[in-house]
Chains A and B, each alone.
Chain A
Amino acid sequence: MTAVQNLAKPKGIPRRRGKLLIREYIAFYLFASPWLLGLLFFVLGPTIASLVLSMTDYPVIVAPKWIGLSNFVAMSHDDLVWQSLKVTSLYSLGAVPLGLIFAFLVALLMNQGVRGVRVYRTIYYLPAVITGVPVALVWMWVLNPDFGLVNNALRLIGIVGPKWLFSRVWVIPAFIVMSLWNIGAPMVIFLAGLQGIPVHLYEAAEIDGATAWVKFWNVTVPMMSPVILFNLVMGVIGSFQTFTPAFIMTNGGPANGSLFYGLFLYDNAFRWFKMGYASALAWLMFLIILVMTLLVFRLTNRWVYYGGSIQE
């Protein structure tokens, strides 16, 4: 029982001890207050405010006007909402599985006991440190249809590369390819998971004559399933929040071909100052991410193995 829980039932506590507990109580809240205030003012407060604003017409420079659920009704008729959902879903479907596979494969490589593996780990993680605008600018050049590295490489083998960011068809595949730049963070988590698998499981499998593939499929994958689930959930959430590359590289174009939901929300909030509508969009995004996350948890119940849990 903690000191704070004790305070909930102060009856019968000796006076001196009670004073001590009150001091501890104050100290607890004093030390926790930065986080509590941050939560109240920067998370909970704006969340409540955005819920209220989602039911208003609020162009920021004049007072908000209550319009009930009109923003949500308008969203259902807005072509751009559907377009942005389509773009984001396509990206998510491509980037999340691909990112997981690559991060897992690289983590497997980085888990080998070869010389200089720490250097390799650092090298693979480095791109994750350089994020945002500089990365977007570099990729703009890499993916340039005329002189970009990718198309130049394709030209060497006789392939005329696509227009990437300047094509409605190829702009999302271009962003998916680009998303692999960020596999450093999930790779580190996978690596930590791999290093936590007990060696005796592999030894037992080897005694039974298991091949490398059998060991991977029957030991590594099940033992890693909670980590895969974690990275999957984080990947889905992250992909639905994609903003920076689209904002910097294409601004949603060409012809709304890369109009990510996050960018559309930003445009409404800070470009057209339709703060009420943007708040409604934010709540829809929250609901979508919530449903997606719950869906992932529901679907993964069958294949995620928790060593410490009691199996029914």
Chain B
Amino acid sequence: MSNKISRRTFLKMANVVAGAGALVLAGCKPPSQATTAPGVTPTTPPAQGAGAPVPALLRSGSGEEDYFNKTIDLFEKENPDIKISRIFAPGGDDYITKLDLMIASGDPPAIYAPFSTRGYRYYAAKGLSQELDSFVAADKMDLSDFHPDGMKGCHWQGKLMALPLDLWPHVIFYNKSMFKAAGLPDLTTDWNDANWNTDAYLEIAQKLTKTENGQTTVFGSNYYFNYWAAGWTFGGDWFPMDTYETGIVAEFTGDKDEKTINAVQWDADLMNKYKVAPTPAQAQSVQAGLPQLFMSNKVGMHMGNIGELSTYAKITDFEWGVAAAPNPPGGVKRHLHVWIDFWSMIKGVKNLDGSWKFMKFMVSPEAQKIYPIEFGPQSSLLSLGQYWLDIQKKLMPNLTDAELKTLTEGPKYEQIDLENWTVNFSQINAQALQPAMDECWLGEKPAKDIINGVAPKIRDLINQTKNV
């Protein structure tokens, strides 16, 4: 028998297929507000969607859920007419994926904090961020209490698009018990101590490192960022300083900056030449399922951010302390990094007034006393500095006043993280810089050759992404 399909049957089938395709394409259509031209200032916020739930995209997985829930409970108690939809997503890329998909689905979160590898400026550059100037003006909100570094990053093309949430400076955590056993004095808490430099750091790390049967059992240091920030250790930078003002990576200078190259080489040498820091493979062995490598009692000094404090507060096996990060060689200005989170709002939320009220509450002293302070990071409000200290002292009575001061002074000596500060660094890092850093840690070639080798690729990516 014949298996021929008649013309009519064929047309019927084609219609069905085309219809299905059209439906799928329609499903892919982004929300109407997403097409708004960048830079368009919204008019006076309409009181539309009053009573609609306010969706908040929050981070889970790091033990922060309880603190967010506590804060939101408080808000809902004070504002019974506003209901917050609590949407939790893991941090990092998963958070970004969730955020992008919520925007694409036409139901964006009222507020979100890009706790992750991509800052709010990425969305602002695409015309998706809700401008906040009109709300701040209408409420006569005083912004002077916010940390100046935090506020610097809240503007995009002159407009307020975010409010700072917290600060995560980096310090040295060190194993005091190990120092005592090795007959070494405590580390300095003075950020301006010129004797505390990378040479001194290496010397101590070598004294602390122990080897048995050819295997390193104790590492003096974990002093390496297994990522791009290693380039900052000696006070250099991958990009020109105006990058931090514009929020757009437009030029790469890392291959011409000796400080950056030397810093990466030094970090690699700690692992491969001096063997005082674990390689990524050794770190996996030492950490062995612990939440942090430092908790293994097999690392003398560890560079980490203050968000790790609440984890270390649970250490009972050994004494630990906090110290300033060492100075770069040659008396150069220190240039480590501090992470700052922001709350931001996506355009097109249903309950705009309720969303603003909630955002304003989340940066208020009342809310910040719970999150971020109870969780660990510093508050973005200068007036809560002492309160943060009091809480940390209560949680960690082992820390001296000098050590606590080191924690609060950290941000003064550090550079702001590029990942949530710029529009395009995240992609440049993922596609070019991070693989090059991996090569450095493998120790197969000098850092200079690797950085020079990746420079054209980085410049190419910059050219692809800088025009926003």
Residues in chain A within 8 A of chain B (CB atoms): 1, 5, 8, 40-41, 44-46, 48-49, 52-53, 58-64, 79-80, 140, 144-147, 163, 165-168, 252-256, 267, 270-273
Contact = CB atoms under 8 A, between A and B. Distances in A.
A192 B39 CA distance: 66
A255 B436 contact: yes
A5 B1 contact: yes
A274 B441 CA distance: 29
B439 interface: yes
B48 interface: no
Contact of A80 (B23, B101, B431): B431
Contacts of A59: 126
B50 interface: no
A1 B2 CA distance: 11
Closest 5 CB pairs of A and B: A45-B24, A48-B21, A40-B20, A166-B281, A255-B438
A-side interface mostly: loop
Given A49-B21, A272-B427, A61 B123 contact: yes
Interface string B424-441: 000100110001101101
Contacts, number: 102
A44 B20 contact: yes
Contact of B438 (A41, A253, A272): A253
A49 B126 contact: no
B28 A53 contact: yes
B30 A61 contact: yes
B-side interface mostly: helix
Interface in B279-308: 279-282, 284-285
Interface string B24-36: 1100111000110
Given A63-B35, A255-B442, 17 more contacts: A40-B16, A41-B24, A44-B20, A44-B21, A46-B24, A48-B21, A49-B24, A59-B126, A61-B128, A63-B29, A63-B34, A140-B284, A144-B284, A146-B215, A146-B281, A271-B93, A272-B427
A62 B1 contact: no
B17 interface: yes
Nearest to B440: A255
Contact of B285 (A144, A165, A252, A273): A144
22 contacts: A1-B1, A41-B24, A45-B23, A46-B24, A48-B21, A52-B25, A60-B100, A62-B30, A62-B128, A146-B215, A163-B281, A166-B279, A166-B281, A168-B442, A252-B435, A253-B435, A253-B438, A254-B280, A254-B438, A254-B442, A271-B93, A272-B431
